[in-house]
Structure 1
Amino acid sequence: MKKSLTGVIVAIVILSGYGAVAFSFTDQNNMEKKDIFLFSSVQLTEEQDYTNVYLPEATSYLTTPRSYVLPVVTRVYTFPFLTKITKITVRFSGEQETTIVKPLKVTPQALPDNLKEPLILSPQTASSTICPERSFSYHIAAGRDGDSLTTFVAIHLYPIQYLPSDNILRYSQNAHVRISYKTPEPRQTTTFDQYELVIIAPKAFSQVVEPLVTHKINHGLTTKLVTHEEICDSAYFPVQGRDCAEEMKYFIKNAFDQWETKYVLLVGGRNGGIKQEKWWVPVRYSQLNDGGEGSYLIDLYFADLYDSNGSFSSWDSDNNGIFAEWNSQRKDVLDMYPEVYVGRLPCTSVLQVRIMVEKIITYETSTNGSEWFKTFVGVAGDTYPASNDPYYEGEMATNASFQEIESLGFQASMLWTSNDRFINADSVIDEISKGCGFVHFSGHGSPLVWSNHPPMNESWVNGPNAFQMKKLTNGDKQPIVIVGGCHNSQFNTSLFNIIKGILDDGLSYFNSTRPYGKFWYYEWIPRCWAWAMASHKKGGAIAVIANTGLGYGEPGEQTLTQRGRHLEWLFFKAYKDGKVNLGETHAKDIIYYMHEHPPMQDQTDCKIVQQWALLGDPSLHIGGYPS
């Protein structure tokens, strides 16, 4: 029997009061935006036991667990901050259907980037339920777009739906979108002082940071150094918050509101502690439990200040004191779009601060116009090797990154396992030591190492580990490094963790057979992989963007539009789109990803964004200041 397909779905959004931000509406503010989508013909191909569906307009594919691989078309609309979306209507037309012989593929499970081989899922049991059940969805968020605070509305269209019980595809040729909204009256804001860059450091580091403040001011960036002690003492704004991390976030919010702050540089990492970690500058841990780990570091928490209602984005929507919580019982509702650009130098000593200050000043004053900067280095292999999978995911990701910036005059040097240029750690060290503007590693990792596989081979090819970073001899020719893999930026590592491990687990902490002891998680190394590269005095990187927790990817053909590989190359799209300050490029990267993959609809997508940490100066002028 032929099933009916609803052609029009109307969603009405009723937004609550805006809390901390004053606003008003009038009837004259009622407005409407219309859009029309024209979809190309659906392309079907058969592969072994499955049918593949292609749509040229697709921006990604469904990632919902145990759904089917169907195209998604996303369009993002921007409105002034605090715009009230009253109704979203999507009407599809030109509907057709066809029967296919072989079923569609089930959406692959996201794979942690520390697994040796992909998990194989059995096909979903045939059902009369249409997939996806809705023909469109959307999400609304608030964040910075250039110099403006913006309301984002991302609409996700599903022009092709699948009835698995009958092997029927239904698709539409057109979609008509209508958004009804009210814009708020212009807000009156009062700015007492203006500091585009705020540097937060402990008092013990403040004297060493001063040359960086002077350097930034000399290049036209209004800058203020604030010590963490001053925040706690209400030196600038009345202290608010339930713990040190929330106090610092409220301070950043006040700086954003009253100083028009755009960049926030946190200078400070671990400061000892055994059973309880101590920090020079506060951190926040996400309490999203994906089954692989229950918490991980999240500096994005400090960047997301407002939700789309204009309320403080606490990341604790149920107010139970557990932040960024997501498990089988509870889920905090988060906005996650940044209003400020946050980066961290997780320095543990005055010496490390001095090294990083000197590196940043040298980079910004000497890099511009240098030939070496126009080199892109890709390091990758076959991230999820399988005999029936011809796709080398890491190599695909690094190639996609280079394609984004090739038109800007960059030349590529690809160290891949498939071209025999990535054969060991020394091959990577030698190439980076020549000097380059960007490096993209895409593969597997831990706090200590980064690795990948040869084509269709489960053996490992290791890149440089954290202790080998001192072998890099690139001097002042330092790249910005993007890293796909697990835990490479887990900057809470410390030798104190060995003592903690012994106290918690006894000698089983050192177990070298299954079940492995936590010693082999390498959380005891003095500096994690990313920080070891960034803080290397005689070379290394000027900044590293990598995961603080388990990274995720999707094997196979759709790897570039899903999960971690997608997020990695979107950084280079942001740079190509003109984002020349590192923090804005990093933020635009995750905004692009969240536009396409709503973080509150999928736990894995949420985690992928939260843990994507910038270890570097967010105000860094990529390529240096013009002479």
Structure 2
Amino acid sequence: MKNEKNILKIYTLSYFMIKFYYFVQLLNDIFLIFYYNIELLGRKNMKKIMIFLIIGILVLGGIGVGAFSIKKTNTLSISSDKYDMVIIAPKIFSGALQPLINHKNSHDVKTFLKTTEEIYSKYTGRDSAEQIKYFIKDAIETYGIQYVLLVGGHKGQSFLWYIPVRIVHLDDGARYTEYVSDLYYADIYREDGSYEDWNSNGDDVIGEWGKDTFDLKPDIAVGRVPCRTTKEVDMIVNKIIEYETMSFDESWFHQLLIAGGDSIPNSGAPFPYEGEAVCNEAIAIMKDFSVRKLFVSDLSLMDSSDFIAAWNQGSGFSLYSGRAGPSSFLTYDSNGNPVTPFDVKEIGQLQNKGKYPVFIIQGCLSGKFDVTILNVMKWLLKQPNIQTSDIAFDCIGWDMVKLQNGGAIAAIAPTSQCWVESGDKDKNGIPDIAESLSGFLALEFLRVYADEGIHTLGTMYMKAIQNYVSVFPVHSNKIDCKTIQEFGLIGDPSLKIGGYYL
């Protein structure tokens, strides 16, 4: 009898824990609705906002989770045919992704969807991330795929994931000893052709610098759109289709927007403006593009209004070189005073509809898509690898890509702190920041496009990483290793840069 009572208590406790979980998820959804509409309605309309919030509670609370259904999808049946791209996403996103699959197939990018539910039921691995990686390996060998699009980030603002991340472990002496790396999904094979698991010592702690060895050369182009909701999937799908069908040979595409300043005050001679030095190298690379330049040294970049005005004119590529965090950019003027080129609070002012650049961000943490508002709990508990900047709705890179009617079509940005050199230590007349680490890599993305004629986003990204591995000691220098591990592609790897000729 006593055991039966204990079992009843356990069932009761479990029931209320489950109910509490869904209640928290409900509050999270309502909070997001409130957050995204407060700027639209304005603080003078606070009564309307409160009514909107109350209605949201009543409607969402009354409907319940079971009332939502998944759209019917016409996913391609998988045969022994060859394919170009696989989209990996949870089943809940499948309906929203169907227009993108249809669009890709109409442009001879043979594409199919594989849901995480299917993968987890058919593939084994240490964890869900490795199950996905084993599927990617299988898809390469069976269908000859060239591109993998991962669709999914955090589930809302929770710590759960639609598409899991691989956390790697490398202590560079800065604030973080671990960070997200989607290069894990792209590095399928070792040099001898065997499977690369990033766990050479077999301790099941994957990606440990100094304990594991890595191949690090991507074998396939992997990009991620870290959508937290179906609405975000709808927005990015529409944006990709719009870009690829409406951008070809448009005058705005042939513009290069660059922005930078003094990234490290009181150092760097004879190139004291490190950000501007990288931008000047970009100008030399992108010879066929007209340049829109924002520099603190000539006062063309004094605050965010300069950045926003230039951005809204549209460009094919944009490069920012300077300091950053998950929510803003930062550089310095000639007197060492801080200049904020852009803050995510101003995201609504980006109004470059139909003129979306590929945005290369050489700034720390700008691609850190594992942030969440709930990180405040980890911060209060003083957990490691959590800073106040990690308490955010999203990272600035993804915020700009998912923005409807503005922002970027894709971003290449780091998930952790990135490193730079300064000065000209080898006295070759080229700024060291452009010859190594994140500066070299940022420029290499552009060089691959301009010099090697690679105009597919994921291939451009993959080739730049491969070139970095070939040039720098990524297997013996932890900073070089981190540089390629942390720079990820937020966007569609099969994206036709500049759009299709129609």
What CA distance in whole angstroms lies between the structure 1 residues aligned with 2:348 and 2:492? Answer: 21
Contact 1:192 1:258 in 2 (8 A): yes
Identify the match of residue 115 of structure 2 among 201, 209, 227.
227
Identify the match of residue 247 of structure 2 among 357, 360, 367.
367
Contact 2:423 2:433 in 1 (8 A): yes
Identify the match of residue 552 of structure 1 among 410, 419, 428.
419
Task: Identify the residue that residue 28 of structure 1 maps to in structure 2.
Answer: none
Q: Which has the higher strand share?
A: 1
Identify the match of residue 405 of structure 1 among 264, 272, 286.
286
What CA distance in whole angstroms lies between the structure 1 residues aligned with 2:80 and 2:445? Answer: 34
What CA distance in whole angstroms lies between the structure 2 residues aligned with 1:437 and 1:469? Answer: 19
Task: Identify the residue that residue 482 of structure 1 maps to in structure 2.
Answer: 360
> What secondary structure sits across from 1:399 in the alignment?
helix
Could you report, residue by residue, the CA deviation over 1:92-124 in whole angstroms, capped at 9, with x for unpaired residues? xxxxxxxxxxxxxxxxxxxxxxxxxxxxxxxxx
Could you report, residue by residue, the CA deviation over 1:331-380 in whole angstroms, capped at 9, with x for unpaired residues? 31101111110000000000000000000000000000100000001100
> What secondary structure sits across from 1:325 in the alignment?
coil
Question: Aligned ranges for residues 83-122 of structure 1 at < 5 Å?
Answer: none
Could you report, residue by residue, the CA deviation over 1:412-456 in whole angstroms, capped at 9, with x for unpaired residues? 11101111111111110110101111110001111111111123x
Could you report, residue by residue, the CA deviation over 1:124-144 in whole angstroms, capped at 9, with x for unpaired residues? xxxxxxxxxxxxxxxxxxxxx
Question: Aligned ranges for residues 483-502 of structure 1 at < 5 Å?
Answer: 483-502=361-380
Identify the match of residue 241 of structure 1 among 122, 125, 139.
125
* Paired AA for residue 393 in structure 2: P
Question: Aligned ranges for residues 568-583 of structure 1 at < 5 Å?
Answer: 568-576=442-450, 577-583=452-458
Task: Identify the residue that residue 621 of structure 1 maps to in structure 2.
Answer: 496
Identify the match of residue 437 of structure 1 among 316, 319, 322.
316
* Paired AA for residue 231 in structure 1: I
Task: Identify the residue that residue 99 of structure 2 maps to in structure 1.
Answer: 211
> What secondary structure sits across from 2:168 in the alignment?
strand
What CA distance in whole angstroms lies between the structure 2 residues aligned with 1:505 and 1:482? Answer: 33
> What secondary structure sits across from 1:552 in the alignment?
coil
Instruction: Confirm whether residue 321 of structure 1 aligns to residue 204 of structure 2.
Output: yes
Task: Identify the residue that residue 532 of structure 1 maps to in structure 2.
Answer: 399
What CA distance in whole angstroms lies between the structure 2 residues aligned with 1:387 and 1:541? Answer: 32
Question: Aligned ranges for residues 96-245 of structure 1 at < 5 Å?
Answer: 192-234=80-122, 239-245=123-129
Could you report, residue by residue, the CA deviation over 1:294-330 in whole angstroms, capped at 9, with x for unpaired residues? 110100100010011111010111011111101xxx4
Could you report, residue by residue, the CA deviation over 1:558-584 in whole angstroms, capped at 9, with x for unpaired residues? 222111111111111110111111001
Question: Aligned ranges for residues 213-362 of structure 1 at < 5 Å?
Answer: 213-234=101-122, 239-271=123-155, 277-292=159-174, 293-326=176-209, 330-362=210-242
State the shift of 1:463 in Å.
1.5
> What secondary structure sits across from 2:390 in the alignment?
coil
> What secondary structure sits across from 1:353 in the alignment?
helix
What CA distance in whole angstroms lies between the structure 2 residues aligned with 1:559 and 1:381? Answer: 13
State the shift of 1:393 in Å.
1.5
State the shift of 1:396 in Å.
1.3
> What secondary structure sits across from 2:86 in the alignment?
strand
Task: Identify the residue that residue 471 of structure 1 maps to in structure 2.
Answer: 349
Distance 1:605-1:211 versus aligned 2 partners, 3 A rule: same
What CA distance in whole angstroms lies between the structure 2 residues aligned with 1:250 and 1:470? Answer: 40
* Paired AA for residue 260 in structure 1: G
* Paired AA for residue 444 in structure 2: L
Distance 1:364-1:247 versus aligned 2 partners, 3 A rule: same
State the shift of 1:601 in Å.
1.7
What CA distance in whole angstroms lies between the structure 1 residues aligned with 2:291 and 2:365? Answer: 27
Could you report, residue by residue, the CA deviation over 1:189-232 in whole angstroms, capped at 9, with x for unpaired residues? xx922111000011111100000000000001110011110101
Could you report, residue by residue, the CA deviation over 1:533-558 in whole angstroms, capped at 9, with x for unpaired residues? 11110200000101000110001122
Contact 2:100 2:237 in 1 (8 A): yes
What CA distance in whole angstroms lies between the structure 2 residues aligned with 1:424 and 1:436? Answer: 20
What CA distance in whole angstroms lies between the structure 2 residues aligned with 1:387 and 1:267? Answer: 42
Contact 2:166 2:184 in 1 (8 A): yes
Superposition TM-score, scaled by structure 2 size? 0.80
Q: Which has the higher helix share?
A: 2
Task: Identify the residue that residue 337 of structure 2 maps to in structure 1.
Answer: 459
* Paired AA for residue 314 in structure 1: D
State the shift of 1:388 in Å.
7.2
What CA distance in whole angstroms lies between the structure 2 residues aligned with 1:609 and 1:519? Answer: 23
Identify the match of residue 483 of structure 2 among 608, 611, 622.
608
Percentage identity across paired residues of the two chains: 36
Superposition TM-score, scaled by structure 1 size? 0.64
What CA distance in whole angstroms lies between the structure 2 residues aligned with 1:395 and 1:193? Answer: 49
What CA distance in whole angstroms lies between the structure 2 residues aligned with 1:418 and 1:566? Answer: 22
* Paired AA for residue 465 in structure 2: I
What CA distance in whole angstroms lies between the structure 1 residues aligned with 2:483 and 2:225? Answer: 21
Distance 1:555-1:265 versus aligned 2 partners, 3 A rule: same
* Paired AA for residue 242 in structure 1: R
Distance 1:256-1:296 versus aligned 2 partners, 3 A rule: same
* Paired AA for residue 531 in structure 1: W
State the shift of 1:518 in Å.
5.4
Contact 1:466 1:527 in 2 (8 A): no
How many matched pairs?
414
* Paired AA for residue 552 in structure 1: W
> What secondary structure sits across from 1:379 in the alignment?
strand
What CA distance in whole angstroms lies between the structure 2 residues aligned with 1:222 and 1:528? Answer: 31
* Paired AA for residue 291 in structure 1: G
Instruction: Confirm whether residue 395 of structure 1 aligns to residue 296 of structure 2.
Output: no
> What secondary structure sits across from 2:318 in the alignment?
strand
Gaps of 5+ in 2: 1-78, 425-431
What CA distance in whole angstroms lies between the structure 2 residues aligned with 1:622 and 1:545? Answer: 14
